Structure 1
Amino acid sequence: MKSALIISTYNWPEALELVLKSVLNQSVLPDEVIIADDGSTGETKKLIEAFQQNFPVPLKHVWHEDTGFTKSVILNKAVAKASGEYIIQIDGDCIIHKHFVKDHLEFISPNTFLYGSRVNIQESHLSSLFTKQQVEFNAFSKGIKKRTRALYIPFLSALYKKKHEVSRKYRGCNTSYFKSDFFAINGYDERFEGWGREDSELAWRFYNKGLSSRRLRYRGILYHIFHVEKSKEQLAQNNEIEEHTIKEKLTWCENGVNKYLNEEK
C-alpha cells in the first residue's frame, strides 16, 4: 500500500528543515512527502527546492496564497494531491522519531484512524537545537518535557487496542488514516479559520461514520518544537462548529475536500 506523509507548514523554514531531515532519517520511508504550505514566503519554497534535488522519494510542494490561518484548506488540497492510499499527517514543527513512519504503517487497520504521542521541546533548548541541527531524541535527551511520552517500547504498544471513541489526546499533528475514509467524510471543514478544533472535529466525523481510533503509545513518537501560541480569537466560533458536529452526529461537511478531487495531481 502506498503512503503519503503530509507536513503542514507556515513561514518557519528553520523548523521545516529539521523536520525534513528527520524524514530522511526514517527506517522506512513513505512513498511520497507533501508539504501543505499555508502561504509561506519564498524562503520556504527555496528550502523545499533544495531538498528536492536529492530527496529519495517524491517531495511535493502544495502552496496557496496567505489569507490568514487556513490550515484546513491547505490540508484538503494536499490530501487531494496525494497518490498514496494511506495518509500520515504531521506539522512542520514536529521532528519525527526514526521509526515514526514504520510505526504508523505497521498499525494500519480497516475502519481505523491512528494517533500518536507528542513530546514538547522546551524554549530553552531552541538555540542548541538549531545550532546542532538535532533530529534524534530519546526519553533522556536534554530540553524535552513529559519524558514518559518519549519512551520507545514497542511491545507495550500492543496493550493499547483500538476503540470506538474520540480521545481527548487526539492531535492532528500526529495522525494517520485511509485517504478513502477522509474523502468519505469530505475531509476538513474549511469553515475553520484561525487556531483550534479543525482536527478534533475531523475525528468526530470519522467516529460518527463508524471508524475506531487507536493510540500509538510507546510508538509513533514526535517532538514538537516550542513556539509562541497562535491567536485564539476564532476559537469560540470554531467551538460552535465542532459542537454542532457532535450534537447532530454529522459525518459530512459541506465545504470540504471534494471540490479539489477532479484537479490534476
Structure 2
Amino acid sequence: MRITVAIITYNWPAALERVLESLARQTRLPDEVIVTDDGSTGETRRVIERVAATFPVRLVHLWQPDDGARMSRARNRAIAAATGDYVIILDGDMVAEPHFVADHEAFATRGCYVQGSRVLSDEALTRRMLADGSVRASFFTPGIERRRHTLRIPSLARWYAKPSQKTRGIKSCNMGFWREDLLALNGFNEGMTGWGREDTEMVTRAFHAGLLRRDLRFSALATHLYHRTRKNVVDNPNDRILDETRRLGLVRCEFGVDQHLAEFFTPPLDERPASA
C-alpha cells in the first residue's frame, strides 16, 4: 500500500527539520510526506526547500494563511492532497524512530484506526536534539517522561493492539487511518478552532461509524519535543461541539475535507528538484 505521512507545522522550523530528517531515515520509507502549514513565516519554507534537495521521497508543502489556530483545516488539506492509501498523521514536533513507518504499516487493519503514543522530552533534551540531529531518546536517556514508550517490543505491541473503542489517550500527534475512512468521516471538523478536542471529536465519529481502535504501544515510537502547552483552556468551545457530536451520534461533520478535494484533484507539486 502507499503511505502518506501528513505533518502539521506552525513556526517551528528547527523542529520540523528534525522530523523530516527522521522520516528520511526510515527502514520503510513513506511514499509521500506532506507538510501542512498553518500559516508559518518564510523560514519554514526555506527549511523545506533545503531538506527537499536530498529528500528520498515525494515532499509536498501546503500553506494556508495564519488566521488563528486552524489545525483541522490544515490536516484536512493534507488528507485531500494525499496520494497514499493510508495516512499517518504526525505533529511537527514528533521525531520518529527509524521503524516508525514500518510499524504503522504492520498494524494497519481494515475497519480500524491506529493510535500511537509518544515519549516526552524535557527542555534540555529538546535543545540537544535540535542542535544535533543524531541525538535520539532511549530508555536510559535523561530528561524524558513515559520512558516505557522508548521500548520497541513487537511481541508486546501485538498484545496491546487488540481492537477496541477506548476513548482515553486520543492524540492526533501520532495516528494512522485508511484514507477512505477519513473521507467517509469528512475528516476533521473545521468548526473546531483553537486548542484541542478536534482529534477526540473525529475519533468519536469514527466509533459511531463502527471503526475500532488499535493502540500502538512498544511500536511506532516517536519523541515529542518540549514546548509550553495550551491544554488548560477554560470553557473551551470545542468541548461543546464534542458533546453535541456524542449526543447526536454524528458520523460526518458538516465542514470537513470535502471542501478541499477539488483543489487537490491534481496532486500538488513535489518540492524536490526535478532530477530527484
- CA 1:169–1:83: 2 relative to 1, 3 Å: same
Could you say what secondary structure the match of 2:201 adopts? helix
Query: Contact 1:76–1:257 (CA<8 Å) still a contact in 2?
Result: yes
Instruction: Classify the secondary structure of the residue corresponding to 2:213.
Output: strand
Q: Measure the CA separation in 1 of the matches of 2:57 and 2:135.
A: 19
- In the alignment of these two chains, the number of paired residues is 265
| Structure-2 separation of matches of 1:261 and 1:132 | 39
Q: Quick one: distance in 1 between partners of 2:247 and 2:262?
A: 32
User: C-alpha displacement at 1:234, in angstroms?
Assistant: 7.5
**CA-based RMSD:** 1.4
Aligned residue in 2 for 1:91: 91
Question: 2:37·2:62 contact (CA, 8 Å) conserved in 1?
Answer: yes
State the 1:97 CA deviation. 1.0
Distance in 2 between residues matched to 1:226 and 1:99, nearest whole Å? 22
Give the equivalent residue in structure 2 for 1:175.
Answer: 175
**TM-score normalised by length of structure 2:** 0.92
Q: State the one-letter code of the partner of 2:244.
A: H
1:52–1:234 Cα change, 3 Å: farther
Residue deviations 1:59-113, cap 9 Å, x none?
0001111001001001001110011110001100010111000000011111100
| 1:25-82 alpha-carbon deviations (Å, 9 max, x no partner) | 1111110000010000000001001111111100000111100100100100111001
Q: Name 2:101's counterpart in structure 1.
A: 101
Quote the residue 1:67 is aligned against.
67
Q: Contact (CA 8 Å) 1:19, 1:93: kept in 2 or not?
A: yes
Question: For structure 1, which runs of at least 5 residues remain unmatched after alignment?
Answer: none
Q: In structure 2, how many angstroms separate the alpha carbons of the residues matched to 1:240 and 1:205?
A: 15
Partners of 2:103 and 2:167 in 1: CA distance: 19
Q: Distance in 1 between matches of 2:127 and 2:171?
A: 26
Offset at 1:124? 2.5
- Matching residue of 1:14: 14
Corresponding residue number in structure 2 for 1:257: 257
Q: Residue in 1 aligned with 2:248? A: 248
Q: Residues 216 and 233 (structure 1 numbering): CA distance in 2 closer, same or farther, change over 3 Å? A: closer
Partner residue, 2:272: none
Amino acid at match of 1:238: N
Name the structure 2 match of 1:121.
121
Aligned to 1:51: 51
Q: Is the 8 A contact 1:194 1:235 kept in 2?
A: no
CA shift at 1:261, angstroms? Answer: 1.1
Q: Sequence identity, in percent? A: 39
2:197 maps to 197
Spell out the pairing of 1:208-223 with structure 2 (5 A cutoff): 208-223=208-223
Distance 1:238 1:153 in 2: 36
1:153 aligns with 2:148: no
SS state at 2:167 partner: coil
Contact 1:19 1:135 in 2 (8 A): no
Rounded to whole Å, the distance in 1 between the matches of 2:70 and 2:211 is 26
Letter in 1 for 2:50: A
Alpha-carbon separation, structure 2, partners of 1:123 and 1:155: 32
Task: Name 1:36's counterpart in structure 2.
Answer: 36
Question: 1:115 deviation in Å?
Answer: 1.0
Please report how far the alpha carbon of residue 144 of structure 1 lies from its aligned counterpart in structure 2 after TM superposition.
1.2
**What is the TM-score of this pair, normalised by structure 1?**
0.96
